[in-house]
Amino acid sequence: MKKSIYSILRGTFLISDDSFKNWRVILFISGLAIIMIASAHSADKKVFEISRLNNEVKEMRSAFVDGRSKLMRLKMESTIVKKVEEKGLEISKNPPKKIKIKTQD
């Protein structure tokens, strides 16, 4: 046991005659570690992108609701009457009449 720990600390297991097996294992583990780190970075990037898009959706939804409420206020009859009075027009006292046109065949 003492000898194996000493060989690991000195690095003799990497330069001995049967070190090819050790190098393969070390390279395999290193490759797996690189793949795992890349996968974690990719997942973090996707989480940040999802968070950014959710915030953007919330902002757009609030802008839509704000625009819709402004439109509803502009469509109210009292608002239209005020805008028309500024231009010098008045509301008609007589209700509108429907005009019917008869077509000739």
Can you say how many angstroms the Cα of residue 75 is from the centroid of all Cα atoms in its chain?
34
> Tell me: the pLDDT tens digits for 66-101?
999 999 999 998 888 888 888 888 888 888 889 998
Side chain identity at 40, as an amino acid letter?
Answer: A
Residue in 63, 83, 65 with CA at minimum distance from that of residue 74: 83
Per-domain residue ranges of the chain:
7-86
pLDDT tens string 6-53: 777 777 767 777 777 778 888 999 999 999 999 999 999 999 999 999
Please say if the pLDDT value at position 4 is more than 80: no
pLDDT at 68: 96
What pTM value is reported for the model?
Answer: 0.56
Q: Where are the alpha helices (DSSP H) in 1-105?
A: 2-10, 19-75, 77-86
